Amino acid sequence: MIIDCHGHYTTAPKALEDWRNRQIANLNTPALGPKVAELKISDDELRDTIESNQLRLMRERGSDLTIFSPRASFMAHHIGGFETSATWAAICNELCARVAGLFPDHFVGAAMLPQSPGVDPATCIPELERCVNEYGFVGINLNPDPSGGHWTSPPLSDRQWYPVYEKMVEYAIPAMVHVSTSCNPCFHTTGAHYLNADTTAFMQCLTSDLFKDFPTLKFLIPHGGGAVPYHWGRFRGLAQEMKKPPLAAHLLDNIYFDTCVYHQPGIDLLTKVIPAKNVLFASEMIGAVRGIDPETGHHYDDTKRYIQAAAITDEERFAIFEGNARRVFQRLDAQLTRKGL
């Protein structure tokens, strides 16, 4: 089985965006804003957007199951306050839950949290609980910068985040550390902010002893870990200067990298430098880079090809395609096992 651990519902029906735009237009007059019940999307519409997009490509490329969360760039936690985000997250998560319900063999949910700048992350827990308990979601996306590029929250090692981590540990769910749209004109969202956040989150973990407090906490760093594998020597050296344990002992029981790296040399480096047990297959399809690479004739984000061509053993390839995802997403493994898979 090939599990893609990083997919967002980037193709949701236009009604979703329209609803959000009305919500944003009435930020200061929420009573005039749209009611949740006003968003009407039929199962057929959901089916269409998935069958003609993500599922079509999964079939073409040969992946089986996608861990599916709301569109990352649309989370936009910086817009409005907690109530804004709470309503928006509930709507987006429910849509992903419905997709997973319509295509139970191909999609399983991961939750967007109702984060908001300056608001205690513990306020996210009811939505997290709902997604796990009612929807069967198997992970969450945690935004280390709900301000959208102004970086006003404390580092991930700060105790502010601990209530979320306690719940993650209790539920045995990992977090993909994933920012949303940048509203800072310095940072292009998918070309700079996403990758910067990946590197930043890794370094926040490196400089702290977070995983001493939470030995079973698991973070998935998307986009191949930002700059981290390319600069693995730098990070090993920095850890050494700080008298931290070697990175394998310090971080690699808790930190994993996905394979959203859109060319063969990048994947070759990732699989050479990072132990196979810490790499999870992903494409972020349909996402930031949708075109066809003229150098290969294949889609940039058809990352399965790169993994297949990488100089790794069959055992390592199995770990990257399936084994690691089942180990990191324990609730997914339990669901699959119950199905006899």
Q: At 151, which amino acid appears?
A: W
Q: Which of residues 243-282 bind its own copies (CB under 8 A)?
A: 261-266, 268-269, 272-273
Are 8 and 189 in contact by the 8 Å Cβ rule? The answer is no
Q: What are the residue numbers of the active site?
A: 284
**Could you please report the per-residue DSSP string of 285-333?**
-SSS--SB-TTTSSBTT-HHHHHHHSS--HHHHHIIIIIHHHHHSHHHH
**Choice between 14 and 234, CB closer to its own copies:** 234
Q: Establish if 90 lies at the interface with its own copies (CB under 8 A).
A: no
- Whole-angstrom Cα distance, residue 167 to residue 263? 36
Site for its own copies in 201-230 (CB under 8 A): 203-204, 206-207, 223-224, 226-227, 229-230
The answer to whether 183 contacts its own copies (rule: CB under 8 A) is: no
State yes or no: residue 199 binds its own copies (CB under 8 A).
Answer: yes
CA 316, 111, 131 angle in degrees (round to 5)?
A: 115
With respect to its own copies, which residue has the nearer C-beta, 9 or 300?
A: 300
| Min dist. Cβ of residue 251 to its own copies (A) | 12
Bridge partners (DSSP) of residue 141 are 112, 176
Residue 127 near its own copies by CB under 8 A: no
Find tokens 């700048």 and name the residue. Answer: 117
What DSSP line would sit under 50-117, residue for residue?
A: IIIIIHHHHHHHT--EEEEEE-HHHH-TTSS-HHHHHHHHHHHHHHHHHHHHHSTTTEEEEEEP---T
Looking at beta carbons only, is 5 or 274 nearer to its own copies? 274
298 touches its own copies (CB under 8 A): no
Tell which one of 29, 40, 233, 338 touches its own copies (CB under 8 A). Answer: 233
Which positions lie near its own copies, rule CB under 8 A?
A: 144-145, 149-151, 153-155, 184-188, 190-192, 195-196, 199-200, 203-204, 206-207, 223-224, 226-227, 229-238, 240-241, 261-266, 268-269, 272-273, 288-291, 293, 295, 300-301
